[in-house]
């Protein structure tokens, strides 16, 4: 009975380690917690851009990876590019902004 208990404990420990390793992040892949945080940041940035009257949120795409927000899309005015970057940088939790927005 003790051997079966030890085997069961070892299997459980191994499964736990593998599960946690599967949730860990790597340089090119986010961990589970980071993915959720990035999804929240993306939503907050999109909402901030939507709430900025001078910007058309439908023209600007937002993606986030490990706290870095990437903006892309096409806008009518050069000033809209800098304004979108400024708005994104103003969102709490954003580490940096990569602004790839272009003028139509």
Q: The dihedral of CA 74, 77, 78, 80: what is its sign?
A: negative
Please report whether residue 19 resides in a domain.
Answer: no
Domain that holds residue 68: 27-103
| CATH code where residue 95 lies | 3.30.1340.30
If residue 103 lies in a helix (H) or strand (E), which one and from where to where? strand 96-103
Please report whether residue 31 resides in a domain.
Answer: yes
First and final C-alpha spacing in the chain:
73
**Per-residue confidence (pLDDT) for residue 85, from 0 to 100:** 97
Please report whether residue 86 resides in a domain.
Answer: yes
Of the two residues 29 and 81, the one the predictor is more confident about is 81
pLDDT tens track for 21-43: 555 556 556 565 666 789 999 99
Indicate whether 74 pLDDT > 60: yes
**Per-residue confidence (pLDDT) for residue 3, from 0 to 100:** 72
- DSSP for 44-102 reads HHHHHHHT-TTS-GGGEEEEEETTEEEEEEEESSHHHHHHHHHHHHTSTT--EEEEEEE
The β-bridge partners of 62 are 71
Indicate whether 48 pLDDT > 90: yes
Please report whether residue 92 resides in a domain.
Answer: yes
What's the number of domains the chain is made of?
1
Please report whether residue 40 resides in a domain.
Answer: yes
Beta carbons within 8 Å of 87's beta carbon, 6+ residues apart? 45, 48, 49, 52, 55
| Spatial contact of 62 and 43, defined as CB atoms under 8 Å apart | no
């Amino acid at each position: 009975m003790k051997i079966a208990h030890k085997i069961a404990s070892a299997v459980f420990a191994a499964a736990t380690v593998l599960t946690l390793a599967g949730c860990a992040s790597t340089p090119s892949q986010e961990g589970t917690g980071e993915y959720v945080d990035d999804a929240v940041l993306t939503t907050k940035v999109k909402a901030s851009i939507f709430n900025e009257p001078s910007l058309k949120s439908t023209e600007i795409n937002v993606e986030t990876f490990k706290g870095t927000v990437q903006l892309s899309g096409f806008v009518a005015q050069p000033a809209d590019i800098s304004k979108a970057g400024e708005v994104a940088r103003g969102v709490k939790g954003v580490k940096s902004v990569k602004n790839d927005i272009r003028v139509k």
